[in-house]
């Protein structure tokens, strides 16, 4: 079992990606990644199928089946850095009606190895800024509407 803290996780944005078919690790091979810096939180993400229920008069038990899978929306939070290329890429992606490649790199790398990853395609649904009280930093909030499956890449031992 590998348990790790969230500190050190990183978010990257890539280029436009087609999400109509099931994505694999190979779908991201030629991707050029730009890190979204000043990341404070990634929120919650994952897959949830819709529930379809079936009832009939002849049965006292409702039966359930899985429907379409919703890969959700998750909210990223960053300290606003108006010069960060990754944050600027989120603003640019917001203007487009296409999906972009995203990569989350976890801080669970074995000594000398590489950490596990989540790869996916998402539309940037919102980019907002939070200007709160006097002793708070200005924040950048991004809503990623996940429109593909999540590709899970395991951590790799050093060679």
* Residue 58: both structure tokens together: 């002849």
Is the pLDDT reported for residue 97 higher than 70?
Answer: yes
pLDDT for res 1: 56
Cβ pair 114, 107 in contact under 8 A: no
What CA–CA distances, in Å, run from 98 to 39, 122, 148?
Answer: 23, 8, 12
- Please, which residues have CB within 8 angstroms of residue 132's CB and are 6 or more apart in sequence? 138, 139
Q: Which of 17-26, 97-106, 137-146, 150-159 has the lowest mean pLDDT?
A: 150-159
73-87 pLDDT, tens digit each = 989 999 999 999 999
CATH classification of 10-153, choosing from 1.10.730, 2.60.40, 2.30.110, 1.10.3470?
2.30.110
| Residue (of 41, 23, 25) closest to 117 by Cα position | 25
Q: Encode burial over 73-96: b for 16+ CB neighbours within 10 A, e otherwise.
A: bbbbebeebeebebbebbeebeee
Domain ranges of the chain: 10-153
Hey, how many other C-beta atoms are within 10 angstroms of the C-beta on 130?
Answer: 12
Helix residue ranges, H only, the chain:
85-94
56-78 pLDDT, tens digit each = 889 899 999 999 888 989 899 99
What is the percent of the chain where pLDDT is above 90?
68
CA 124 to chain centre: 10
């Amino acid at each position: 079992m590998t348990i790790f803290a969230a500190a050190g996780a990183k978010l990257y944005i890539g280029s436009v990606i087609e999400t109509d078919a099931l994505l694999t690790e190979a779908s991201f091979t030629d991707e050029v990644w730009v890190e979204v810096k000043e990341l404070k939180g990634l929120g919650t993400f994952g897959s949830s199928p819709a529930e379809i229920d079936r009832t009939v008069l002849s049965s006292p038990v409702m039966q359930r089946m899985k429907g379409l899978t919703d890969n959700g929306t998750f909210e990223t939070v960053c300290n606003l850095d108006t010069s960060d290329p990754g944050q600027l890429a989120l603003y640019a992606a917001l203007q487009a009606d296409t999906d972009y490649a995203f990569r989350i790199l976890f801080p669970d790398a074995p000594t000398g190895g590489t950490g596990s990853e989540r790869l996916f395609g998402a539309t940037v649904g919102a980019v907002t800024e939070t200007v709160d009280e006097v002793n708070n930093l200005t924040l950048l909030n991004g809503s990623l509407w996940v429109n593909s499956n999540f590709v899970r890449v395991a951590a790799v031992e050093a060679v």
